[in-house]
Each structure stands twice: as C-alpha cells, then as structure tokens.
Amino acid sequence: FNKGAVVSLLLLLPALMAFAIDFTIRRKLQSQLSARAVPFVPKRHRLFDALMFSYCGLVCLLLLSVLGMAVYTSFIKLWPYNLTLVWDHYYFGLIQDGILESYFNSLRLAAYVVASGIVLIFGSAYLVEKTRGMEAARPVIRLLAMLPMGVPGLVLGLGYIMFFNHPDNPLNFLYRSMAILVLSTVVHYFTSSYLTAVTALKAIDNEFEAVSASLKVPFYKTFLRVTVPVCLPAILDIGRYLFINAMTTISAVVFLYSPDTTLASVALLNLEAEGKIGPAAAMGTLIVLTSTIVCILYALTTRVLLKKAQSWRQT
C-alpha cells in the first residue's frame, strides 16, 4: 500500500503539468458562439471524403472482426476443439448459474452513473465557467476536476477501500453498496466529461448571461432555455460516454463490489480466470450488444432532439 501510494503520487505529476498548461492557454481562449454566430457548413470534397470514408471503413472492419470473434466464440461449444454452434453458454453459463444478475447490476450502475454524472459534471462546469464569484475557488475546482485523469483506476479503488472501509468513518455505510460503485465510476471518468462540458460552455459568449442579468431574468431560466439547448450535443455525448464506460469498467470497481453488486465486467474477468471461455465470451457479447443499442438510441435521440432544441442551426 505504501509503495502504491508513492507511485500514485508520481502519476499525479503529469496531471498537474497538464493543469498548468491548460490554465495558461485558457486565458487566451475566446468565445466561439456570439449572439451573431452563423453555423459553419463545410464544403464537400468528393475525393477527400471518399478516401476518409475508406480509411474509416477499414478501421471499423478491423475492430468488428475482433468483436466478431468474441461473438462467434460465445456460440462455440468448446473453443477451439469443438466448433459446434450451441446456446449453452448463454443458458447454462449465465442464466442457470445466476451470473446474468451481474449484467443487470451493470445496467443499474450505468443508469445511475448517467443520471447523477450529467447533473454533477455539467452543473460543476457551468458554475465554474458561467457564474460570478468564487474567484479563488475556481482554480482549485479545475485542478480537482483534472486529477482523476492522472489517477489509475486501481489506485482509485485502493484509495476508496482505505477511506470508506475505516470503521470510524461516518460514510462507512457506503462500502459494499451500489452507491460507492456509482461514486467511484463518476469520479473515475469525471475529467473527460468535464472537459467536454467546459469546451461546449466556452463556445457560448458570456453576452447571453450579461443580457439576462440586465433584464433581471433568473439564471436558471437562461440555463434551461439557452445554455442547455445549445450544449445539448455535449450533454448527450457525456451521457453516452458515461454509460459505455460504466458497462465496461473494471479497474476501480474490482476492489469495491460485493456479492450483491457484482458487475458484468467483473463477472467476465472471473469467468475467464476460471477457464470458462464460452460464458465469458457470452457476457462480453451482451456488454457489446448493450453498448451498441445505446449508441443507436443516442444517434436517434440526438437527431430528434437537435431538430427541436437547435432549430436555429438550420436557419
């Protein structure tokens, strides 16, 4: 534990350097979206677009081939000796053995992480970037928001064990619960989501808040009617990012789960360690399928909501 703490502190140094660089560059940034902004429409270039499409298609094909082998293995009776197609790994390996409960725990975790993470992350970014006051606290909040990216998940999980498992800690009741898994996952992936929210908010001119204040419009009305619709693509991206990572995370939660809160990713790891390749591939297939469905729903939802909330982009 002591050596692990030393290594974790060393790993924080790049995060501190990145924060210093970000703090320096932040002063030179200007708002990209003013009250007179016009949406940028890129011009078509058939040859360049075709080459980029071919390149992206090749990368997608390679990735799908790797995933396809995992899906194929989940239907094989005994890889690589008996290639008979069966459903046994899904029924006997997951349902009958009670391991499928881990999959539903991951769905619960992902839903809680998305619901709480969006509010916490976007709310924090809005308070730091678009409100007045707390001038001394802003750099501290930005530094704390950058630190999770520099902390490995394993170190984060060990830190949670030593902090929440102490009997004198009033928050000890969170240990071995779903709440601590939600908290650790949100913190683990806080930085990337926070930077996405900050980038979206930086693109909005502060003129909107100034005009609202001069007209004595409550800040929450400006937030709900202007900020949220304009930043809706970023908010949806944050939700998708948090959901998929919550479904696949292992490093931090592997130290924090209990028999009642075992996750699909942890169950997959345990199945592979026991030599049960078929059930492990079946669980991996369920995770990939769920993430794919969420991405499709995200694309459809984004298309519908953007037409309603950002119709100004079409004018």
- Residue-by-residue DSSP string for 108-142: HHHHHHHHHHHHHHHHHHHHHHH--S-TTHHHHHH
Q: At which residue do the structure tokens 């004198």 appear?
A: 168
What's the CA gap between 229 and 188, in Å, rounded? 27
Ordered by start, the domain boundaries in the chain are 2-29+87-314, 43-74
CATH architecture of the domain covering 2-29+87-314? Orthogonal Bundle (1.10)
**What percent of the chain has pLDDT above 90?**
20
Q: Is the pTM of this model over 0.85?
A: no
Judge whether 109 and 246 are in contact, CB under 8 Å.
Answer: yes
- Rounded to an integer, the average pLDDT of 273-292 is 87
Most confidently predicted of 24-38, 47-61, 184-198, 220-234: 47-61
What's the CA gap between 78 and 155, in Å, rounded? 37
Does residue 40 carry a pLDDT above 80?
no
Among 28-42, 55-69, 268-282, the minimum mean pLDDT is found in 28-42
Among 61-75, 191-205, 233-247, 300-314, the minimum mean pLDDT is found in 300-314
Judge whether 309 and 229 are in contact, CB under 8 Å.
Answer: yes
Does residue 313 carry a pLDDT above 70?
no
Does residue 155 carry a pLDDT above 80?
no
Q: At which residue do the structure tokens 């809680």 appear?
A: 112
Confidence class for position 112, pLDDT limits 50, 70, 90: very high
